[in-house]
Amino acid sequence: MADDVKARRPYHAPRRAEQTAATRRAVLDAARELFTTRGYAATTVAQLAERAGVAVDTVYALVGRKPVVLRELVETAISGTDQAVPAEERDYVRALRAAPSAGEKIDLYAAALAGMGPRTAPVFLALRDAAARDPACAALHAEITERRAANMGLFAQDLRTTGELRADLSDTDVADIVWSMNAADFYALLVHQRGWTPERYGAFLADAWKRVLLDP
């Protein structure tokens, strides 16, 4: 009998892991819908659990308390996967760092932002609003903001290696310009309020950055 149980274990373990991952996705999907429509403060864990079709204890067990749910929502929106992915391991970051020219690097990054915008902008805006009321969310918002700034510093350094950046712009200047224009608020103004498509937004960023940052 013991041997039979051991033999069955490898068959059931992957299925159990898949079910757990699917339930976790359901929780995050529910959080994305509720946080971006009702708002973080107006959403309770009980409502989140009900929308996901799970028990409240399941939310706590698979993801965590509400601030942790929001953090996971932000991280997975950025990565486009079920888990957080460090910036240096993302496909588009590897591609742009391998690109030989500044124009190609900018094109790759702008296209990546256009692809990410529909999933990241609503979550970032929900985080911004939550930060105004909740200290834990304020800390997360500050952390994400600083992380973005640091990543833009690395992007500026990478552009500098091509020798194509304007000499009168420091790496900090370049990073600040890119950082401000890739913010969720900027995306929301053009896409959500002015009706631009994400593709048009991405093309605009690429064109604007080439005009502003590169030595003609």
pLDDT at 20: 86
The residue ranges of DSSP E strands in the chain, in sequence order, are none
Percent of the chain as helix, strand, coil, to the nearest 5: 80, 0, 20
Question: pLDDT tens digits for 106-130?
Answer: 999 999 999 999 999 999 999 999 9
Quick one: which of 130, 132, 122 has its CA closest to 43? Answer: 130
Residues near 60 by beta carbon (within 8 Å), at least 6 away in sequence: 45
CA distance 195 to 110: 18
Low-confidence ranges of the chain (pLDDT < 70): 1-12
CA distance 210 to 204: 10
- Dihedral, 168, 169, 171, 176 alpha carbons, nearest 10: 160
| 19 class by beta-carbon count within 10 Å (0-12 exposed, 13-18 middle, 19+ buried) | exposed
Q: Could you say which DSSP state residue 183 is in?
A: S
Quick one: which of 62, 66, 21 has its CA closest to 47? Answer: 66
pLDDT at 128: 95
Mind listing the domains of the chain with CATH numbers? 1-64 (1.10.10.60), 70-216 (1.10.357.10)
pLDDT at 81: 80
pLDDT at 83: 78
pLDDT at 84: 78
